[in-house]
A and B are shown apart, each in its own frame.
Chain A
Amino acid sequence: MGFPEPAQWIAFAALAAFVALDSGPWLLSMAARPLPAATLLGLLWGDPAGGALVGAALELVYAGILPVGASRYPDAGLAGLVGAGVSLWAAPLAGAPTLPLALLLGLLAGHAGRGIETWRRSLNAVWVAGARAAAAAGDPAAIGRVNARAMAFAALLGAGSAVALLGLALFVAAPLVDAAPALAAPAPPLALFAALGCGAALRLWAGWAPRLWLAAGLVAGLAAGQLVPGLLR
Chain B
Amino acid sequence: LTVQAVEAASTASAIRQRPGPWTLVWRALPLQAAFNPVTLQGAGFARALLPELVKAHGTAAGRRAAELAEGFNANPYLATFALGATAAAEGREPPVRIDRFLRLVRGPLGSLGDGLFWGAARPALLIPTALAVCAGLAWWLALAALVPWNVLAFGVRLTGARAGLEHGLEVAGELGRSWIRTAPARLRRLGSLGIGLGAGLALSVALRREAVGSSVAAGAPPGASAWMVLAVFALAIPLFALWPRRWGWGFALLGAWAVLAALTA
Contacts and interface: CB of A to CB of B under 8 A. Distances in A.
Given A139-B62, A199-B241, A213-B193, A35 B199 contact: no
A233 B138 CA distance: 10
Given A147-B47, A220-B197, A225 B139 contact: no
Interface residues of A, number: 112
A191 interface: yes
B21 interface: no
Contacts of A38: 142
B199 A197 contact: yes
Contact of B127 (A39, A151, A201, A215): A201
B97 interface: no
Given A68-B114, A198-B195, A222 B143 contact: no
Contacts of B232: 189, 191-192, 195
Contacts of A58: 250
A146 B43 contact: yes
A199 B238 CA distance: 7
Contact of B193 (A104, A185, A214): A214
B103 interface: no
A10 interface: no
B9 to A, nearest CB: 28
Interface residues of B, number: 106
A129 B110 CA distance: 24
B127 A143 contact: no
A202 B127 CA distance: 12
Best-surrounded residue of B133, B145, B190, B229 (most CB of chain A within 10 A): B133
A34 to B, nearest CB: 9
A48 B207 CA distance: 25
Contact of A57 (B34, B134, B204): B134
Contacts of B180: none
B208 A24 contact: no
A222 B150 contact: no
B14 interface: no
Interface of B: 29-30, 32-40, 42-44, 46-47, 50, 53-54, 59, 61-63, 65-66, 69-70, 73, 76-77, 110, 114, 118-119, 122-123, 126-131, 133-137, 139-140, 142-143, 145-146, 149-150, 153, 188-209, 214-216, 229-230, 232-241, 243, 246-247, 249-251, 253-254, 256-258, 260-261
Given A187-B214, A222-B200, 13 more contacts: A29-B146, A56-B129, A124-B34, A135-B63, A140-B50, A187-B216, A192-B256, A198-B196, A202-B237, A216-B193, A217-B195, A219-B200, A222-B201
Closest 5 A-B residue pairs measured CB to CB?
Answer: A221-B200, A217-B196, A225-B204, A199-B240, A195-B236
22 contacts: A55-B142, A56-B129, A58-B250, A60-B134, A64-B246, A121-B37, A128-B34, A135-B63, A140-B50, A186-B214, A186-B215, A189-B216, A189-B256, A189-B260, A195-B233, A210-B191, A217-B195, A218-B197, A225-B203, A225-B204, A225-B205, A232-B205
